[in-house]
Amino acid sequence: THNIFTSVMPQRRSGRGGDKKAQFFESIISQKLDRVRWGMLNAGVAPATRHESYTMYMIACLNAKDRSLAEMIRFHERRVGQLRECLTQRHEADGRTPMHMACAHPQGTKCVSELLDAWLRIDSKNREAWNVRDNMGKCPKDLASGKTLELLEEWVAEDEEEDDTDDAEDDDGLTSTQRSKLKKKMLEASERAGAPRAVVVTKSNDEREEKSIDEDDENEIISTPEPITASSTASVSQVAPEPIWPEVIAWYEAVKNLRPIYEVSVSREDSESEPLPLFPDDTLIDPALWFCNSLNRLQLKLSPRLTILSSQLSRLTNLTILIVSGNGLEALPDCIEQLPLKSLDASRNAIRTLPKMPHKTLEALDMAVNQLSDIESLSECANLVSLALDNNPDLSSLSPLPFDQMKRIISISASHAAIAELDPGLGSLVKLETLILSHNPFTELPPALAACKKLKLIKVDSTKISDNKVLGYIDKGEMKQLAKYWEKNSAKSTGGGGKKGKKR
């Protein structure tokens, strides 16, 4: 019989920089969720990416790693096409899906629950779509037992009950139970992001009222394009303007049908012969965009003429990923601090100073190719996992970073800057793996870096380092030898490490 319980544990490959994909798959097994999140953004994994013929969802389900699975589903629920692909991938040898693997595991009940909820997201009308057969003719339910089997039977019974008592679906295509589950998932997502109270549509009289919701409330959550209460910091409510951009119109249509869109990406070409039109408030951005309050991810690539972002950005209270690279931004709005951002990419702009950042949530920050001269506003960003500051010619120091508190940072890149001296505090970055500091005027690396035992890659091309041994170890990728060299020199400088005289 097929050994469905064999753990798939990727092995780290040798060499500089490590294998990001292998480390990502390993983090699924260990359920280190910060690495899982970082890997989804930075390891170059796609739904079809496999390790030894297993996809990321298969590895989680095969090993009953429900927390890793939930984190990946949360990432993909904003990308419905990718989520569908992740759920329907089959193992090449036996034709099993992630659902087969979760059902077959004795502790797979929580994984099965996560997968069923994910299916409700992508195919609420066909609840049996997950129940496909593998190459042996077995469906997931055939492999389930105990609590997992009870869960599946409850799911099927629920569907049959709805067919008998609620055959007439509402205009949104959902039955009452499906709507209730979708409402619960949306509420949970809102609470995770720290969003204000939801707007509720009461089905009995179709009148909108703002109130707190509890899990048993049978009303439906909807983000409505009609008059919406402003964010909690606003004193008066505002009416959403008529949407103009097709991407924004699509969002409004989606929420009317209780199919909220979580991701909007807008890219426009701007030229002298065909310049982008301005909206009434003299901006290049459709003002209705700021009312798309279900968004988790927003990407704007417009024009060098886009020099500011409106403070209306604060309305997007669920926003976790913001990409505004390649514009002409001269600053970021102060309201950035209020958002639950995990990832911010504002590279390739003309930003001179940074506002305070959402230090409790921010994990990935890319400010490369700007005009920063200092990073004082990052002094509280202890949860960063990756930081890119390359090509800021006037940036002279990394010292404002809270090195002693940065227990999660994996990558720092600050090449082509004006850093003349490096802070010894770099040595307290216990998880640091990559340090890129090429094209800077500093003359030495702090020996304190010897304490960074996970360091795999250092780049210091075109610096003023004169110690050829240091440069040699770096060129060969011999980090352990470099650490020993620094430790030896440090011992000598403190008076230790001298040779003992021979006994006579």
Yes or no: say if 492 and 469 are a contact pair by the CB < 8 Å rule: no
The two tokens of residue 370 are 């700007």
Beta-carbon neighbour count of residue 273 at 10 Å?
Answer: 4
> Which helix (H) or strand (E) is 48 found in, with range?
none
Burial of 180 (0-12, 13-18, 19+ CB in 10 A): middle
What is the model's pLDDT at position 246? 92
The two tokens of residue 443 are 């003359």
DSSP category for residue 54:
E
Q: Per DSSP, what are the bridge partners of residue 200?
A: 209, 221
Query: pTM here?
Result: 0.58
> How far apart, in whole angstroms, are the C-alpha atoms of residue 177 and residue 218?
9
> How far apart, in whole angstroms, are the C-alpha atoms of residue 13 and residue 20?
9
- In order, the DSSP letters of 94-163 are T---HHHHHHHSTT-HHHHHHHHHHHHHH-SS-TTTT----TTS--HHHH--HHHHHHHHHHHHHHHHHH
> How far apart, in whole angstroms, are the C-alpha atoms of residue 444 and residue 424?
11
Query: What is each CA distance from 263 to 46, 181, 339, in whole angstroms?
Result: 17, 21, 16
SS (H, E, C) 219-253: CEECCCCCCECCCCCCCCCECCCCCCCHHHHHHHH
> Which helix (H) or strand (E) is 294 found in, with range?
none
Q: Give the residue ranges of the chain where pLDDT is below 50.
A: 1-17, 163-173, 190-237, 497-504
What is the model's pLDDT at position 493? 66
> How far apart, in whole angstroms, are the C-alpha atoms of residue 238 and residue 377?
31
Q: HSE of 30 in the Cβ direction (CA atoms, 13 Å)? A: 13
The two tokens of residue 473 are 């170890």
pLDDT in tens, 469-497: 999 999 999 999 999 999 888 777 665 54
> How far apart, in whole angstroms, are the C-alpha atoms of residue 450 and residue 468?
17
Radius of gyration (Cα) for the chain, nearest Å?
26
Reading across the β-sheet that carries 220-221, which strands appear in turn? 208-210, 199-201, 220-221
